[in-house]
Structure 1
Amino acid sequence: MFCRAKTGVLTLLLGSSILALVAMIADYWITVPLPTGVLHIGLFRGCDEQQNCFTVLGTESTKDLLLSVFIIGILTLPCGILEVRYSMQGSLGCLMYVGVISSVLAILGFAAMVNGAVNLRPDQPFSYSWAFALGWISVIMAVTSAALSVYVSRVEPAAPLPEPQAEAGTATGTQTSSNPPGGVISPINRFIQMLSRKPTPPPS
């Protein structure tokens, strides 16, 4: 169950990042009907049906926001991949961070789409095209990824920690644990401890 949910989080995060990139580079945010055909305009340029193109100005902030969504989303994927890879062991604690970052991506994407809708408003009648729709789908996927990752991180049990072992050669024979004071264990430490856990030998 949790493995499928985590895979869904990764799929949504990856899809949101890719759609944000496609929406940024495509020339089909809006279409303007002309007597000689249709003019399609994106964040970088506008072109008519004869491929006569011109540069679009004033959309730099929208492009920067969508590019940030793509870059941050891709950089967050390794954290989610670790959760899926070791999903049978329990939660590593990374999924909560994925949820927080997905929320940030949703906010950035929402700001980009609103900004683009305000800046790309010609005086002539126009209609929004498929690249504009992809941008909003990217926002919806980021929101869904954030909600699902936060939910799974709350209901999934944490990965079990290895038993503390006695230090070899100690005079007192007391056991020591690598856990930090207060029992607070970061996701990185939990992951390292899980990998360093030695299998229990079979009884002789």
Structure 2
Amino acid sequence: MLALQVSLVLLLLSALFNVISLATDFWITAPGGHFGLWRLCALNICGTLGKGAEIDATRAFSIISLLLLLVAVMMQILEIWSKTVLSGTNKQKLTAILSFCAGASALIAMSVFTGSFRPAGSTRFSWSFALGWVSTALSLVAGAAAYLAFNNNPQ
């Protein structure tokens, strides 16, 4: 039961960090401004970030990761508190699979962004970017915890 609760906490933290990372615009900072996946701010003037293959791929895979995390959270909650809902399915195994898929999707998103934008000089990656990586790691660890819970108590 402890592995189920640990997995749920990790999933919730991962989803929270993913939402914060997606919503904020501090992925890269420079002395004159900063930008994220949606907005670019320079000299206290913010505007919408234009389209680009790398940004669009990062956005898409981050959103896919968030959606998978939300479904995994729902499955984990159902596993812990309502054994009768979806009783024909193995919710714990599904939670583990969804968590690993969310982690893989987030890994693709973060890798695309990391490989596409290489800060130089005083430009650097910032805290929104770091939260994206933390969310990636947490979703993979949550998947491992859910898998361990499944192996300890297969249905």
Q: TM-score normalised to the size of structure 1?
A: 0.65
| Residues 1:81 and 2:77 are matched in the alignment | yes
> Using the alignment, how far apart are the partners of 2:73 and 2:44 within structure 1?
41
Q: CA deviation at 1:25?
A: 2.2
Residue of structure 2 in register with 1:9 after alignment:
7
Aligned pairs for 1:142-157 (under 5 A) are 142-156=139-153
| Equivalent position SS for 1:104 | helix
Structure 1 runs of 4+ with >6 Å offset: none
| Equivalent position SS for 1:7 | helix
Residue of structure 1 in register with 2:30 after alignment:
32
- Relative to structure 1, the CA distance from residue 85 to residue 55 in structure 2 (aligned partners, 3 Å threshold; closer, same or farther) is same
Give aligned pairs, total. 148
Aligned pairs for 1:1-150 (under 5 A) are 2=1, 4-33=2-31, 38-53=32-47, 55-58=49-52, 59-86=55-82, 93-121=90-118, 125-150=122-147
> Using the alignment, how far apart are the partners of 1:28 and 1:14 within structure 2?
22
- Relative to structure 1, the CA distance from residue 157 to residue 109 in structure 2 (aligned partners, 3 Å threshold; closer, same or farther) is closer
CA RMSD of aligned residues (A): 2.1
| Equivalent position SS for 2:40 | strand
The residue type paired with residue 25 of structure 1 is: A
> Using the alignment, how far apart are the partners of 2:117 and 2:133 within structure 1?
15
Larger radius of gyration: 1
Which 5+ residue runs of structure 1 have no aligned equivalent? 159-204
> Using the alignment, how far apart are the partners of 1:69 and 1:82 within structure 2?
20
> Using the alignment, how far apart are the partners of 1:136 and 1:124 within structure 2?
22
Which 5+ residue runs of structure 2 have no aligned equivalent? 84-88
Q: CA deviation at 1:96?
A: 1.3
> Using the alignment, how far apart are the partners of 2:30 and 2:40 within structure 1?
10
Q: CA deviation at 1:75?
A: 2.1
> Using the alignment, how far apart are the partners of 2:59 and 2:48 within structure 1?
17
1:164-198 deviations in Å (ceiling 9; x for gaps): xxxxxxxxxxxxxxxxxxxxxxxxxxxxxxxxxxx
Q: CA deviation at 1:18?
A: 2.5
Which has more helix, going by share of residues?
Answer: 2
Q: CA deviation at 1:61?
A: 0.8
- Relative to structure 1, the CA distance from residue 121 to residue 148 in structure 2 (aligned partners, 3 Å threshold; closer, same or farther) is same
| Equivalent position SS for 1:47 | strand
| Kept after mapping to 2: 8 A contact 1:80/1:94 | yes
| Equivalent position SS for 2:45 | coil
